[in-house]
Amino acid sequence: MSATQQEIAQELVDDFSFFDDWKERYMYIIELGGRLPGLDSNDKTEANRVQGCTSNAWLVADVDTATSLITFRADSDSQIVRGLIAILLMFFSARSPAEIIDFDVTPYFHEMTLDKHLSRSRSNGLNFMIKKMKEMAVNCQNATG
């Protein structure tokens, strides 16, 4: 069985606590983004672009019809945004619509101090990405339910 969202969140909080300063955390976020597989160019369409992000960011949701689990794929042309996307995918990908809709990342972002160290535009972009993931989950839930 896969880890719960809370277990993943706590693991990330623990990982972030190992770093003494924000620069090290920033580099860790970039490292996480480097592991992100990215998207094919045919997925980098205007329809998949996340509105509200200063950098270009794209999000695709794949639904397993047998389980109704949603797996997200995403990419960005910014290294730090790719890292933030990687964190969101840890929380929200391969989850049921209800898990995606109900999970609040805000307290964990606070514990990781992301809320204090991201620029306003990056924070806004991150919030738009979360909103888009939750909207996709609602649409999937409505379609199956």
Per-residue burial over 40-53, b = 16 or more CB atoms within 10 Å of its CB, e = otherwise: eeeebeeebebeeb
Q: Which amino acid is at 140?
A: C
CA nearest to 81, candidates 46, 43, 44, 128: 128
Report CA-CA distances (Å) from 81 to 58, 88, 119, 144.
11, 10, 11, 31
According to the model, what pLDDT value does residue 135 have? 95
Cβ atoms within 10 Å of 119's Cβ, excluding its own: 10
**Residue type for 122, please?**
R
Regions in the chain scoring below 70 on pLDDT: 1, 145
pLDDT at residue 28, as a whole number: 95
Are 113 and 24 in contact by the 8 Å Cβ rule? The answer is no
Give me the pLDDT at residue 145, please.
59
**What integer pLDDT is reported at residue 1 of this predicted model?**
54
Residue 108 is predicted with a pLDDT of 92
The set of catalytic residues is 53
As a CATH number, domain 5-140 is 3.90.1010.10
Domain ranges of the chain: 5-140
User: Which DSSP helix (H) or strand (E) runs through 88?
Assistant: helix 79-92
Report the distance separating Cα 11 and Cα 44, nearest Å.
31
